[in-house]
Amino acid sequence: MQNIKLNLEYDGTQYHGWQKQPNFPTIQQELEKALFKLFHQKISVIAAARTDAGVHAKEQVVNFITSKPISPLTVKCALNSFLPKDIRVKSSKIVPLNFNARHDALYRIYGYLIYNSSVSSPLYRRFSWWVFFNLDIQRMREASQFLIGKHNFSSFQAQGSSSSTTIRKVEKLKLYKKGHFIFLFIKSKGFLYKMVRNIVGTLVEVGRNKISSSQVRDILEAKDRRKAGPTAPPQGLYLLKIGYPRRV
């Protein structure tokens, strides 16, 4: 038996998210189809995170068990020959049999890209949120500080979540600006359903001067999704990194 860990990169534009769904193309579905072509048997994969429709990944981690002896290099090369061009296996390795891509993750880092200009960019329309209002990044940074730490993030959770608790700990939340681009990076062990996109939508409202920086603290404490800003669109969101113990 071998437990194989894959690092994936994908453009989520054409997919209805990570998880398999009937009648919709998904990343998991395409990967498991490629695995079937390689192993000639049905193989189910475990993913570190379930990205939503239209969301991209710089590093998605998955693992699967196989009883067939095969080298990681063969797995990587073969899968990339079977997968669509917008999904790629960046690396493959054998890990301990008890490794689980989801449960063993120490943290997840997401990034969000905003294109802040009066004119949209045809080149970045599939990979960023075009916001034509002039955003005050300093106000957005001030507001973001209220979200760092362990809190009840009910105000930033979308309907449809199956999470047993809305308590999450945000370890880092940083914003950078370069030219027309605003980058947001957020790190936590886990996130609620659409939590990052709801945080981004709220911070954009702060940047537009629609709500004050200090109101974000009140929104957090309200534990009411209706108090927060709109949900940012999916195309600006990226799963950037999954952290694991050094042994894997």
Domains belonging to the chain, first-starting first, are 2-95 (3.30.70.580), 107-243 (3.30.70.660)
pLDDT at position 247 is: 61
| Cα separations in angstroms, 83 against 74, 142, 143 | 14, 43, 41
For helices 215-222 and 195-207, the axis angle rounded to 10 degrees is 150
Ranges of beta strands (E only) in 67-180 are: 87-95, 107-116, 129-131, 149-152, 167-178
Q: Of the listed 11, 52, 86, 104, which one is catalytic?
A: 52
Torsion of CA 185, 189, 192, 193, to 10 degrees: 70
Residues of the chain with pLDDT under 50: none
The candidate with the shortest Cα–Cα distance to 158, out of 108, 210, 208, 232, is 232
Judge contact between 102 and 48, C-beta under 8 A: yes
Q: How many CA atoms lie within 13 A of 181 on its CB side?
A: 14
Q: How many CA atoms lie within 13 A of 216 on its CB side?
A: 27
Contacts of 210 (CB under 8 A, 6+ apart): 229
Q: What is the pLDDT of residues 23-44, one digit of tens each?
A: 999 999 999 999 999 999 999 9
Give the global pTM. Answer: 0.95
Judge contact between 49 and 196, C-beta under 8 A: no
DSSP state of 52: P
Active site residue 86: no
Q: What is the pLDDT of residues 89-130, one digit of tens each?
A: 999 999 999 999 999 999 999 999 999 999 999 999 999 999
